[in-house]
A and B are shown apart, each in its own frame.
Chain A
Amino acid sequence: MIPFDFEYYKPDSITEAIQTFQDIESQGKKVIYYSGGTEFITFSRINKLSADAVIDLKGIPECQVLESLGDLLVIGSAVSLNKIAKSNLFPLLGQAVKQVADHTSRNKITIGGNLHSRLIYREGVLPLLLADAQVKIAGKEGEQVLAFEDVFQQEMKLGPGQFLIQILVEKSYASYQYISIKKTKTSKVGYPVVSLAAIAKDSQIRAAFSGVCAYPFRSAQMEAALNDSSLSIEKRIEQALSRLPAPIVNDIQASREYREFVLINALEDALDALKGAIS
């Protein structure tokens, strides 16, 4: 039961959404964009979030696109995680988002919602970091296409009133060998202790992580260590661990020490899975 009242808008177009946002905001109200809505509903129920109005983006056709267009894969922000997985358009992304929540929830959770999650995991981020993805953003100045890594810095950094329309990925990224690993405390359905996505491109491994630090990340320094063929696998992992961008998380899913142990295993698994494709 959500304790507070709010207004609900479901615009049919991008311009209508932007206009609605401005109109409501100018009335001094707190307005937020709404996609799958699962986090809005659950956080509002426990008084951890509130808004005077929500703008549901699911009615905007551009946000519902899921297709291959020339050299690009185009994924609308309001497409559900299950649709992405089932389409097999970008298999690594499909695998990564299949590890979010449970199957039924994934009919509701959208990729846009996952990228904007208030939790530290946001596993949809990992493949996008690996694939040098771009994102199409709507704002009052119009639409712009930006590099995902510029927009995502520990979290999505969109300006006020802006929202994510689409994710654009070069098609070639769908064909690289990949692996996606999620390790949990006990049950498969649960927050990750470690989540890892990796691809082999140009005989090099690219790896991105979630659950390890307080935000999802890809690290050039860690990749350099993992790709250092002068070192044994063990040493590469040891080096990579010494270059983590932030402290390893210590929480109720796992202690810092155990998480490190799980991360080492996951890295071994990833290097092993991609061993034919990397040097």
Chain B
Amino acid sequence: MQDRTGTAVGKPIQRIDAVEKAAGTVRYIDDYTLPGLAHAKLVKSSYAHAKINSIDSTEAWKVPGVRAIITGKMFPYHIGPILADRPPLAIEKVRYYGEPVAIVVADHEHQAKRAAALVKVDYEPLQVVNSVRDAFQTGAPLVHENSGQYMKIISNVYPVQGTNIGSHIKIRKGDFIKTWEACTTKVKETYSFNLSDHVALETRSTRVEIKSSGKVIIHTTTQSPFTIKKVMNQFFNIELGNIIVHTTIVGGAFGGKGTVQLEPLAYLASKAIGGKMVKLNYEREEDLITAPCHIGVEATISLGTNKDGKIIAGQYTFLIDSGAYTDQAAGITRAMALDCTGPYNVPNVWCDSYCMYTNHPYATSFRGYAHPELTFAVERTMDQLAKKLSIDPIELRKMNTIQPGDTSPTQSVITANNIGDTLKCLERARELIQWDEGQRLEISNNKIRAKGISTFWKTSTTATNAQSGAILKFEADGSVNLNCAAIELGQGTKTILAQIIAERLKLEMNKIHITMEVNSSYDPHQWRTVASSTTFLAGRAVLAACDDAISQLKRTASIALKCSKEDLEVGGGRVYLKPNPDYGVQIKDIALGYQYPNGHAVEGQVVGHGKYIQRHLTPMDKETGFGKPGPWWSVGTQAIEVEWDTRDYTYKILKAVTVLDGGTIINPATATQQMRGGMYLGLSFASSEAFLFDEGGIVQNPQLRTYQIIRFGEQPVEYLVDFIESPAADGPYGARGIGEYGVIGMAGALANSLSAAAQVELNHLPLIPELIWKTKKEHLK
């Protein structure tokens, strides 16, 4: 781990993007236009499952300005990030309500939109698979008839031909069956929630043009520019070198912009009009249901303990509603399995995690990648187990916390270096929520205050070769400029990277400039900006680039100062002699090389480069799950206090607590922002969000008026955030990932607090007052 001088790392340095954002002058993707830009609009399926008999675009063509109408026939192939099972435009049949069926390209957006409404599609409705439970039944109608024939893009995906199973991941650790028999206390419960959405304020938007040279230029709202390159190369046969992906600052993503949907559509649209630039901008309704959303889940968990309350066996069955296509849900299915126990030591584990096809909008990654969802189920089970054992919920968690020397469900060995301190997190959260004053208090006639707790962990399930690169260029005034493809999507990543540079080069923050936009043609390769991995991966790459630059600076300075490199130190905008710091040279005088008094020059511009790639990660074994999925686990504890009204079943969230061990915290202010934001996202999901389907699988609430997220004033009255900083040996200055973590325990903590308040087991989301009312009513029957 790197030594800290304390100049920048650990300081609440103001975000470098905030001033322009406050001025409203940041340009996001949709903020660019140019004369002659053509516009694309989608014709979308009005059924959840139907055969396409024919498409008639006669009337649509009559709208002035229409230049092209494209159907699935133009590109009758399947694409996908894990399993190639999705045609960009539906072919033969539609599998979800809102699925793209055709594209209309016109001179103006309103023309394209008018024409799109006039394209007549003749559908023959098919039986709808409207839940994971229905999908799992033998003899269920099939969403995909030939899933066994789809191309696998990465390993660890196992579709089962002739069923709706898009993938099945197994964990078999120890001997669950035998141990289960010996358990003295057992609980088994089922949990569920529907698909929901990311609701980034910025809807997805793309512009694509195809140059006569063959270059394909894609401007898009994305977390994964290099994945777009890969997809366009893999499925559209465009040379990698000819694909340029550009993105600006992104207006929120939450995992929803990590996958590839609009770009191939806009590419097809541009191709159809001779390569002219085409813009495809999703309206909110399209962003909610046509674009990929957040999984739904039905989970069943059985936990068994010995007579001391130690968990000795756990069985986990996850039916993940991935909707019509697997997309990232296939990876989420894997992630849900590999961390299925939560941060508890369970020696005997049996887990079946199924990625299920249904006729719902398809799902992709969502902040937390399987963990908010599995943690809700695990932490509800822990509370119900504690009740059965008559043990305090915190005590039960402490007794069972996973410790160095134990193994994870995939039999990865836990060490002091690769996991945070769960016990410390639990203890600190206990203090902050004032647990010991009582979990449930009646404070007046019809008001109850109650608390709920939730512990969580998450490893960063990146690709085993996930990587990042950084280029650091020095200017003639001694300032530096970083190019790195880590994307600024609100999380503050560019500020964090600047702080790491400032710390390493011992340079003032105002001397560090970061290219905010990302362009695949001049930024080094970066896996993606997802999975709470950017501080770790890009941070390490940036450190390496700093070290490279320091070495170059010392080399040039050694010429200027006529000494050896080993004698030199870099800091404060200078390179100087270690034993005599007054003797040195300003970086600005050597940034573009050193010039002798006679005009001769040597060395040239200091350009540091650095890279980092994940080390020693392995895929999971198909039968047992054995493997090493991630470099470390961040752990934490969250807690919620609610005030619940016994008369009308409404509630107010009084306190939300997060204690996270994310290793060294590079910027405590942005880290706190991240935690609060994550808590809010998790609470909004848990308290009010879900798509509602009618019997035909049609989404009933595809607008923000009816798909409600928490508004100003409905957030917790108080957010309490604290960090335990057990340094990660591998991380930059000891940092681990933190981006997703604020979300993870919120649903579990909220459900636990409300279950305590209402004295019923609330095992389904979202926790709207009507659900509590209904559960209570059924309980009293």
Contacts and interface: CB of A to CB of B under 8 A. Distances in A.
Q: Assess A/B contact in the complex (Cβ within 8 A).
A: yes
B114 interface: yes
Interface in A244-279: 252, 254-255, 258, 261-262, 265
Interface stretch (A57-65, A77-85, A91-99, A183-191): A183-191
A47 B770 contact: no
B705 A191 contact: yes
Interface stretch (B625-633, B707-715, B747-755): B707-715
Contacts of A1: 109-110, 113, 283
Given A254-B770, A265-B647, A186 B687 contact: yes
Contacts of A158: none
B700 interface: yes
A187 B708 contact: yes
B708 A185 contact: yes
A2 interface: yes
A5 to B, nearest CB: 8
A41 interface: no
A83 B687 CA distance: 34
Interface in A139-163: none
A220 interface: no
B113 A188 contact: no
A89 B714 CA distance: 30
A46 interface: yes
B708 A258 contact: no
Given A1-B109, A1-B110, A3-B114, A188 B714 contact: yes
Contact of A190 (B647, B705, B713, B769): B705
B692 A47 contact: no
A255 B774 CA distance: 10
Contacts of B700: 252
A197 B743 CA distance: 40
A258 B705 contact: no
A263 to B, nearest CB: 11
Contact of B648 (A188, A255, A265): A265
B515 interface: no
B688 A3 contact: no
A189 B711 contact: yes
Interface string B738-781: 00000000000000000000000000000011100110000000
B648 A262 contact: yes
A254 B773 CA distance: 12
Given A4-B114, A252-B700, A258-B773, A186 B692 contact: no
B774 A187 contact: no
A5 B773 CA distance: 48
Interface in B702-730: 705-706, 708, 710-711, 713-714
B774 A258 contact: yes
A191 B704 CA distance: 12
B117 A47 contact: yes
A190 B704 CA distance: 10
A191 to B, nearest CB: 7
Interface string B106-127: 0001100110010000000000
B770 A185 contact: yes
Contacts of A4: 110, 114
Contacts of B711: 187-189
Contact of A186 (B285, B647, B688, B701): B688
A261 B711 CA distance: 25
Nearest to B700: A252
A258 B770 contact: yes
Interface in A223-252: 252
A46 B110 contact: no
Of B700, B705, B710, B770, chain A has the most CB atoms within 10 Å of the CB of: B770
B445 to A, nearest CB: 13
A60 B408 CA distance: 73
Given A1-B109, A252-B700, A261 B114 contact: no
Contacts of A252: 692, 700-701, 706
Interface in A13-53: 45-47
B563 to A, nearest CB: 66
Contacts of B692: 252
A265 B706 CA distance: 23
B701 A185 contact: no
Interface string A161-195: 00000000000000000000001011111110000
A176 to B, nearest CB: 26
Given A185-B770, A265-B648, A3 B714 contact: no
B708 A3 contact: no
Nearest to B714: A187
Nearest to B702: A46
A3 B705 contact: no
A189 B713 CA distance: 11
A187 B701 contact: no
B113 A3 contact: yes
Contact of B710 (A185, A187, A254): A187
Contacts of B110: 1-5
B688 A187 contact: yes
A265 B710 CA distance: 24
A208 to B, nearest CB: 21
Interface string B8-48: 00000000000000000000000000000000000000000
Nearest to A268: B647
A146 B661 CA distance: 70
A190 B114 CA distance: 30
A98 to B, nearest CB: 15
A30 to B, nearest CB: 16
Contacts of B774: 255, 258
Nearest to B770: A258
A186 B113 contact: no
Contacts of A183: 648
A190 B706 CA distance: 7
Interface string B682-710: 00000110001000000011000110101
A45 to B, nearest CB: 8
Of B692, B701, B714, B769, chain A has the most CB atoms within 10 Å of the CB of: B769
B114 A186 contact: no
Contacts of A186: 687-688, 708, 714, 768-769
Nearest to A183: B648
Interface string A191-226: 100000000000000000000000000000000000
Interface string B640-654: 000000011000000
Contacts of B710: 187
A188 B769 CA distance: 13
Contacts of B769: 185-186
B708 A190 contact: yes
Contacts of A185: 688, 708, 768-770
A5 B114 CA distance: 10
Of A183, A186, A255, A261, chain B has the most CB atoms within 10 Å of the CB of: A186
Nearest to B689: A186
A267 to B, nearest CB: 13
Contacts of B705: 190-191
Contacts of A45: 283
Contact of A255 (B713, B714, B770): B770
A255 B777 CA distance: 14
Nearest to B645: A265
Nearest to B774: A258
A46 B285 contact: yes
B649 to A, nearest CB: 9
Contacts of A265: 647-648
27 contacts: A1-B109, A1-B110, A1-B113, A1-B283, A2-B110, A3-B110, A3-B113, A46-B285, A185-B688, A185-B708, A185-B768, A185-B769, A186-B714, A187-B708, A187-B710, A187-B711, A188-B711, A188-B713, A189-B711, A190-B705, A191-B705, A191-B706, A252-B692, A252-B701, A254-B770, A261-B773, A262-B648
The 6 closest A-B pairs by CB, nearest first: A3-B114, A3-B113, A186-B688, A258-B770, A187-B708, A252-B700
Given A186-B688, A186-B714, A190-B705, 10 more contacts: A1-B109, A1-B283, A5-B110, A185-B688, A185-B708, A186-B687, A186-B769, A252-B700, A255-B770, A265-B647
